[in-house]
Chain A
Amino acid sequence: MSVPPPSTEPASSARTVLDADEIARTVTRMAHEILEANHGAEQLVLLGIPTRGVPLAERIGAAIGQVESRAPRIGQLDITMYRDDLRNQPTRTVGRTRLPGDIDDATVLLVDDVLFSGRTVAAALDALKDIGRPRAVRLAVLVDRGHRQLPIRADHVGKNLPTATGERVHVRFAETDGSTEVAIERPGDGTGA
């Protein structure tokens, strides 16, 4: 029996906004939206942003593969080295970048779990620029929690979740956290700082 790794925050200290079934339905809807907007999966490359953008990209890709005859290419794009706050934090562990072949002239769909300030996405756009020249770049997120600090918006949103700045949104996937849910934690809840 595999024991799920303990997540840093106990789920019980926060309110669950989406459970595993709701996330599955949301991902299916997003997959259809993405196909409709891109006229199919041809020339579509999904790049998940580690950590939790990666399992989300894989889930969306699998959902697209169930509708289309062929699944889109899926990879991952680490943006650690492109962050604008590297100097303000202890040295960050760099994740993996894995490109599923050439991205020139493809439509790249960046996939992340939560859209918040927009800085991660801005870093991802910088990272993409160094790797190739996609025909177009789109953004899909499971949760848009608002509070943007840059002029960035998502093309495909699983759930718009209005939040206060002090609240924390936790997206968990079975692949990375042992369970699948979106939870919102208010200041003072649980043990998290």
Chain B
Amino acid sequence: MKNLLSAADLSVAEIDSVLDLAEEMAEVQSRPIKKLPALRGRTVVNLFFEDSTRTRSSFELAGKWLSADVINVSAKGSSVSKGESLRDTVLTIAAMGVDAMVIRHPASGAPAQAAAWTGIPVINAGDGTHEHPTQALLDAYAIRNHLRRGNHDDLAGARIAIVGDITHSRVARSNVALLRTLGAQVIMVAPPTLLPSGVDTWGVEISNDLDAVIDSVDIAMMLRVQRERMSGGYFPTPREYTVGYGLTRERLAAMKPGAAICHPGPMNRGLEISADAADAASSLILDQVAAGVAVRMSVLYHLLGGEEETT
């Protein structure tokens, strides 16, 4: 692995390798001294052009727990706010001699561009509405652990519904790619206005009726309604969205025994997910957050833990 730009680039073997190592990293998280020396002397830059709590914090912790030096650059308070271009910002950071960049950017494709400009390893931490591969990896990790607790082997054959704002969701795109690689059955559930054009080519089932599928899925992955990316007109009112596509108390009750709930966060409680569902025993939402650091440690090790590229 040289970069992690898209979940679609990962083979089954690579995904398994990342998830298996994440299990070992999770064990390290439980120790009093949460530190391994594997990336001592390496420097990782978190370059965030969009707000983030979970992803930025977990990448920072992941780097630090592997003994890398981590610096954070956010658009606010950097020369980006003076009008510096993405290319100049990326090249400036690369010229300082960093070993890897973790990039979040509102433009789809920005991390891939940065990788092409600099040649150093780049991890996509979310680019526009395109992809968020480490989120898909940690979702797969949390789901895999849940399924194994229920004596399933892995995700192959699991039925997973991804519900809500598919159009604006990079999490959905990465999850579809990753889950399909792992052999899961994926169902997209959304109002027609929130299904992107071309979704019929993704190789997934599509439904506009959550009630018709909720009782047959192993996992309901609820997506955040991204009001900051919407220019209006996608659904009449928030209340109407909840009635059609929210994980309400009634739909929670309709889920089959052993089924679980995911949400990439942050949640709009009462909109796409009810408090009952968010706080239910079958909710994996906090497991997903906990998995975030372990999975990102694993990704950083896979990218930086071996010999340095001499190009």
Interface residues of A (CB under 8 A from B): 78, 80-82, 86-94, 96-97, 126, 130-131
How far does the Cβ of B207 sit from chain A's closest Cβ, in whole Å?
Answer: 40
Give the residue name and chain of the A residue nearest to B37 (CB). Answer: A82
CA distance A122 to B109 in the complex (A): 44
Which B residues from 258 to 311 make CB contacts under 8 A with A?
A: 301-302, 305-308
CA distance A5 to B29 in the complex (A): 34
Evaluate whether A89 and B307 lie within 8 angstroms (CB atoms) in the complex, with A97-B27, A130-B31 already known.
yes
Contact of A94 among B21, B307, B308 (CB under 8 A): B21
Chief secondary structure at chain B's binding surface:
loop
CA distance A157 to B66 in the complex (A): 34
A81 contacts B33, CB within 8 Å?
no
B36 contacts A82, CB within 8 Å?
yes
Instruction: Report chain B residues within 8 Å CB of A89.
Output: 306-307
Evaluate whether A93 and B308 lie within 8 angstroms (CB atoms) in the complex, with A82-B36, A130-B35 already known.
no
How far does the Cβ of A39 sit from chain B's closest Cβ, in whole Å?
Answer: 29
Which of B1, B27, B33, B306 has the most chain A CB atoms closer than 10 A to its own CB? B306
Which 10 pairs show the lowest CB-CB distances between chains A and B? A91-B306, A81-B38, A81-B36, A130-B33, A90-B306, A91-B305, A94-B21, A89-B307, A94-B24, A88-B307
Contact of B31 among A78, A80, A126, A131 (CB under 8 A): A131
Q: Does B17 contact A (CB under 8 A)?
A: yes
CA distance A86 to B306 in the complex (A): 6
CA distance A130 to B24 in the complex (A): 15
How far does the Cβ of A46 sit from chain B's closest Cβ, in whole Å?
Answer: 19
Interface residues of B (CB under 8 A from A): 1, 17, 21, 24, 27, 31, 33, 35-38, 66, 301-302, 305-308
Instruction: Report chain A residues within 8 Å CB of B33.
Output: 130-131
CA distance A175 to B305 in the complex (A): 29
Instruction: Report chain A residues within 8 Å CB of B305.
Output: 81, 86, 91-92
B27 contacts A130, CB within 8 Å?
no
Give the residue name and chain of the A residue nearest to B308 (CB). Answer: A87
A sample of 17 cross-chain residue pairs with beta-carbon separation below 8 angstroms, ordered by A number, consists of A78-B24, A81-B36, A81-B38, A82-B38, A86-B38, A86-B305, A87-B307, A88-B307, A90-B306, A91-B301, A91-B302, A91-B306, A91-B307, A92-B306, A94-B21, A94-B24, A126-B37
Instruction: Report chain A residues within 8 Å CB of B31.
Output: 130-131
CA distance A94 to B24 in the complex (A): 8
How far does the Cβ of A85 sit from chain B's closest Cβ, in whole Å?
Answer: 9
A94 contacts B306, CB within 8 Å?
no
A130 contacts B308, CB within 8 Å?
no
CA distance A88 to B308 in the complex (A): 7
Give the residue name and chain of the B residue nearest to A126 (CB). Answer: B37
Contact of A90 among B36, B66, B307 (CB under 8 A): B307
CA distance A82 to B38 in the complex (A): 6
A81 contacts B37, CB within 8 Å?
yes
How far does the Cβ of B17 sit from chain A's closest Cβ, in whole Å?
Answer: 7
How far does the Cβ of A127 sit from chain B's closest Cβ, in whole Å?
Answer: 9
CA distance A93 to B20 in the complex (A): 10
Instruction: Report chain A residues within 8 Å CB of B27.
Output: 97
Instruction: Report chain B residues within 8 Å CB of A94.
Output: 21, 24, 301
Instruction: Report chain A residues within 8 Å CB of B36.
Output: 81-82, 130
Give the residue name and chain of the B residue nearest to A95 (CB). Answer: B24
